Amino acid sequence: MSEKKSPLWHGRFAEGPDAEAVAFETSIHIDERLAQDDIRGSVAHAGMLGASGIIPGSEAAAIVAELKKIASELETGSLKIDPAAEDIHSFVEGVLTDRLGDAGRKVHTGRSRNDQIALDERLHLRRVVPLMRESIVDLVEALVTIAEGHTETLMPGYTHLQRAQPVTLAHHLAAWCWQLVRDHGRLGDALKRMDFMPLGSGALAGSGLPLDRERVARELGFSALTPNSLDAVSDRDYCIELAADLSILMMHLSRFCEELVIWSTEEFKFVEMSEKWSTGSSIMPQKKNPDYAELIRGRSGMVFGNLVALLTMMKGLPLSYDRDMQDDKTSLFAAWDTAASSLRIFTRMISTASWNEDRMAAACTGGHANATDLADYLVRKGMPFRTAHGVAAAVVRECIEGGIRDMTELPFERMKKHSSLIAEDVYALLSPEACMRARDLPGGPNPERVKAQLAELKGRIAAARAEKQ
């Protein structure tokens, strides 16, 4: 095979790797998405070099102007990234050097690829993480819109996938929303720990040149400098933290999708997925499969795997930089792309779903989901809860043995024999709607309590939108 030397980084070596080895070490196909971030960092660095007198001001100005031109050409597509370049740093610097000659070679003064990539990653993530947070807000808004029309739509709440107690569809969707609110907050917290400017850390020990790190940090909008040069180029915990946050987000989406898959079955039939977000069968003409929900559910495992890959990559590395870390972007960007697409697809899918209110309400009858309410009824009359629990269990047992679907269908004479405290008013209190409305504590399914939750969620949506502006 032919041999190829890197035009910028070969240093002391008289010979370079062969073509297969070059392909093995090349990262341009992964880190090309950092092009604009790499250029932005180089613009700030070059400007600082000129202002600090490290290179002539005229050369710094020429470098900055040419870098901005390269950025514009990449944006319009008139300049294409060379897939043969080793990485995005060498590509940008190579183009700059081709155009400016020795002046272009000065752009790397006082920095290493180690602190350069640490900067590029932070710049990129600070730019895109707010977009993910915005997508989460979009989904919360879509769910709130659906929930507002279903604050009195009865449905069973489940534990162990067994009917437990009556709630409403709005209450259930609000539960999804609060999980997403925490996802939104976690990503916001991750941004805070990315907000440290690493350039000037060099390969690991900083630089002997009078670099003005504060100036670069101000120009790039960082709130602080990385306090330790060795840590700055060794650190990838911000990537791991983001991958963990994305994994939690995907776990939530997967759980939502699992419920949609179950609810769309003929056995439940609570929800009807739009034909746009369903597929048919290659052999069974009647099938309408919730494939998009299943794909999101399945792809959560891919994101979990990306997190494990990052943790495994880093767990045995000594300080500071090791080449293993080049592959952080492979795992991080794969996790990002999967989570971002899953979030967008889920939002569009849930926004077009239709809800079978009659079927959900009917599922609240049968299964004795009102048993706890019978116990509460007896507690309000002075019976100890454990005793009341036993009475309710005995009533349930009698219904089961007698083939009675719901304890409200048990004749009063038979109900009364379980406790002298039971009066005929118990039946009105054991209807699914009464059971739902009785849960009137903050956070409960009572419609007024759910409306309060939705109002708070709408306030958070508005605050998030305002924060973006």
CA distance 321 to 419: 74
Residue with tokens 């070969």: 10
DSSP string, 173-186: HHHHHHHHHHHHHH
User: Which long-range contacts (C-beta less than 8 Å, at least 24 apart) are formed by 345-349?
Assistant: 345/277, 345/292, 345/296, 346/139, 346/253, 346/256, 346/257, 346/293, 346/296, 347/135, 347/138, 347/139, 347/142, 348/277, 349/273, 349/274, 349/277, 349/292, 349/293
**Residue of 346, 353, 141, 350 whose CA lies nearest to 254:** 346
Tell me the catalytic residues: 160, 281
Element (H, E) at 285: none
Q: Name the nearest CA neighbour of 427 among 353, 374, 364, 369.
A: 374
**16 burial via Cβ count (<10 Å: 0-12, 13-18, 19+):** middle
Q: For residue 139, give the H/E element and its range.
A: helix 113-148
Alpha helices by DSSP H, 221-323? 229-234, 237-263, 291-314
Cβ-based burial of 77 (10 A; exposed 0-12, middle 13-18, buried ≥19): exposed
**CA gap 304, 421 in Å, rounded:** 54
- Counting beta carbons within 10 angstroms of the beta carbon of residue 301, is it exposed (0 to 12), middle (13 to 18) or buried (19 or more)? middle
